[in-house]
Amino acid sequence: MFGAGLFLIGLSYLDCTQTKLAVLLLVLAVSMSGFVYSGYFVNHMDIAPQYAGTLMGIGNGIAAISGFVAPYVTSRVTESVSELHHLNLNISNNCTTYTVAQNILNDSHTTVWPQKSKGTVFECCQL
């Protein structure tokens, strides 16, 4: 996530005349974020194998709220051109805070509450 964040921070400092560089940075950011998913999807299976789908649905549902909130916040913050510098600082701070928090707080040990029950889907479908 750190690499994608760096490319997005760089993207926020470009002006309208640097379209080719903007497209390149955006493509690199999205490409780098693809590496995150190899660990993200497996993490739910590590934490609670029986409830991985439910946990992913709850987590993605909460995360989707940003799709409604972010455009409103962006429209309020960027009402004038002079505030764009503050927006760049805000994006940089958010990316840094998220990266540090994820590296410190991320833990994928199996929790105690999803104890293995009898007759799980994986047991009855084994050949």
Strand boundaries in 31-85, DSSP class E = none
Q: Total structural domains in the chain?
A: 1
Q: Which of 102, 89, 90, 109 is nearest to 1 (CA)?
A: 102
Dist CA 78 CA 67 (whole Å):
17
Rounded CA separation 84/11 (Å): 13
Which of 70, 3, 63 minimizes the C-alpha distance to 33? 3
- Quick: pLDDT tens for 54-105: 888 888 888 788 777 877 776 776 666 566 666 677 777 777 777 777 777 6
Model pTM?
Answer: 0.49
Per residue in 11-53, pLDDT (tens digit) is 888 888 999 999 999 999 888 887 777 777 777 777 777 888 8
Task: Kindly give, in sequence order, each residue whose CB lies less than 8 Å from that of residue 78, ignoring residues fewer than 6 positions away.
Answer: 84, 87
Which structural domain range is residue 90 located in? Answer: 2-124
- φ, ψ of residue 109 in degrees (nearest 5): -85, 145
